Amino acid sequence: MKCKVSAYLAAVGTVLLWGMSYIWADRLLEAGIPVEFFVPVRTLLAGVLLLILNLIAGLDMRLRRKDIWRFALLSLCMPFVYFIAETYGLGLTESPTITSLVIATNPLFAMMAGIFIFKEKFGWKNILGVFITLAGLWLVTWTQSSTGQYFIAGILILFIAVISEVSQIAFTKSLSESYSPSVIVMYQFLLGAVLFLPLFLTKGIAAYDAGVYLSWKVMYPTLALALLCSATAFSIWAYAIKHLGVARTSVFLAVVPLVTAVLSFLFGDEVLSLWQWAGLAVAMGGILLTQMKTT
């Protein structure tokens, strides 16, 4: 029971941090910082931080030869493909809220992976809960704000991110029985940083300006993304997947756009309508259905 409670708290903490990540990433894009710079920096900082913490904690970090291919595919899906697709999609749609809404379709795909690959039990009430959650989130995140010129292209790119995220959840689940969550995420980001290196050395620092890139306006969201949204969030997310399973944990991703919308409202970036607040209540009801035990 204690593991279940802590796993649910971990899932909630993750979505809160990831909900904020869209706002921080959007601020970097608005400041003119290229994706190829802040995403590799975010990835490397997260990996190094976890390496230091794992060494201090004395965790077993030995990498088994038979698992190398799974770690390689894990880091390819997330952070490499996911972060590129997510951030480019955000730049093209020009809307953190809509971007997070598209990413929130993840539970539908993850639910199928949990049922068909990991043989997890997911009853009709749980499935209904996913669709109710998404319906409620559509009301919450619906916005009249302007979108980018290449909005449709951005949406299509975001679905690449969704597929990558479902894949990384599946690989994380398969590795969670043999490795500590923080060790999995450490290798995930260190290998991901290597994959990002060619992009960083070409496009990432092509227009480097120390006065801009080292300013607090840029460093603050970059550090927040690395330390909170990557190192911390992914570690506790891996813990939640281990104890709750792929299908049930993934449903919490549907709450990310809700968090983004509410935080944008609190920061004065967006104003939520009565329909959107109603959608929030509907989404919460859907989440409760997804967590009901099957018989």
How does pLDDT run across 153-171, given as a tens digit for each residue?
888 898 899 889 888 888 8
Cα distance between residue 264 and residue 273, in whole Å: 13
Is 191 in contact with 80 (CB distance < 8 Å)?
no
Does residue 178 sit in helix, strand or coil?
A: coil
Q: Using one digit for the tens of pLDDT, what is the confidence trace for 40-53?
A: 999 999 999 999 99
Q: Which of 24-33, 119-128, 135-144, 242-251 has the highest mean pLDDT?
A: 24-33
How many beta carbons lie within 10 A of that of residue 29, not counting itself? 18
The answer to whether residue 131 scores a pLDDT higher than 90 is: no
Average predicted confidence (pLDDT) for the chain: 83
Instruction: Name which of 141, 161, 173, 176 is nearest 260 in CA terms.
Output: 141
Residue 143 to residue 203: CA distance in whole angstroms:
33
Q: Give residue 292's pLDDT.
A: 67
Residue 23 CA to residue 141 CA, distance in Å, equals 14
Quick one: tokens of 64?
């088994």
Which pLDDT tens digit goes with each residue over 48-67? 999 999 999 999 999 999 99
Q: How confident is the model at residue 140 (pLDDT cuts 50, 70, 90)?
A: low
Can you tell me the mean pLDDT for 139-163?
Answer: 73
pLDDT tens-digit map of 192-231? 999 999 999 999 999 899 999 999 999 999 999 999 999 9
Distance CA 124, CA 70 (A): 32
Q: Give 169-183 pLDDT, tens digit per residue.
A: 888 888 988 999 999
Looking up tokens 């990540």, which residue turns up?
A: 21
The pLDDT value given to residue 144: 46
